[in-house]
Amino acid sequence: MYKNMAVAYDGSDGSRLAFDKAVEMKQALPDIKLSIIYVNEEFQENVSLLDSPGTSAPIFSPTLDSTSTQSLPPVVNDEEYDSAQGLETSPMEYSKYMHNSIQQQLDAKGVEASVLALEGTASKTIPAFIEEQKIDLLVVGNSGKSGLQKFFVGSVSRKLIKEAACSVLVVK
């Protein structure tokens, strides 16, 4: 069975369904390692990169401090889910928002997972991450958004199915 699963997340409805399915699988298979990844294709600010051995795709995890936390939206939950839509944010603020949103959802469900941001083009960065981290199942949504939040436009999902070196579960 699967040992190392990743879900690609951008806050869209499609990626939320993929996230929910991955969480459900993690709860059913507690020994599986789960990584939640999101791609900031427009990231230009200088951030600390995580030292992840053998990774060619830059990985970063925004550090939340008291000043940045104040500018983030309230707790994200099922009743009042608010994506980053409409936020006028810099790429760094968007990454902080995504990291916080994902972690709050994981905490609410009592699920342990790694939350990682990738920098680059989603259709190239995600397959590289999958190969280097030995992911054996990628969970994706079938559609997404545009602009800063883009990375699941149908063509990206199709490219991931073709390029990923692992099984891909597309959730509708």
Per-residue pLDDT of 53-75, as tens digits, reads: 444 444 444 433 333 332 333 33
Cβ neighbour number for residue 30 with a 10 Å cutoff: 9
3-state SS string over the chain? Answer: CCCEEEEECCCCHHHHHHHHHHHHHHHHCCCCEEEEEEEECCCCCCCCECCCCCCCCCEECCCCCHHHHHCCCCCCCCCCCCCCCCCCCCHHHHHHHHHHHHHHHHHHHCCCCEEEEEECCHHHHHHHHHHHCCCCEEEEECCCCCHHHCCCCHHHHHHHHHHCCCEEEEEC
CATH for 14-144+159-171 is 3.40.50.620
Residue 118 has pLDDT above 70, yes or no: yes
- pTM of the predicted structure, to 2 decimals: 0.70
At residue 126, the pLDDT reads 94
Which region among 19-33, 91-105, 109-123, 141-155 has the lowest average model confidence (pLDDT)?
141-155
**C-alpha separations of 19 from 50, 95, 105 in Å:** 23, 17, 9
Q: What is the mean pLDDT of the chain?
A: 75
- Name the band, by pLDDT with cuts 50, 70 and 90, for residue 133: very high
At residue 52, the pLDDT reads 46
Residue 134 has pLDDT above 50, yes or no: yes
The fraction of the chain above a pLDDT of 70, given in percent, is: 65
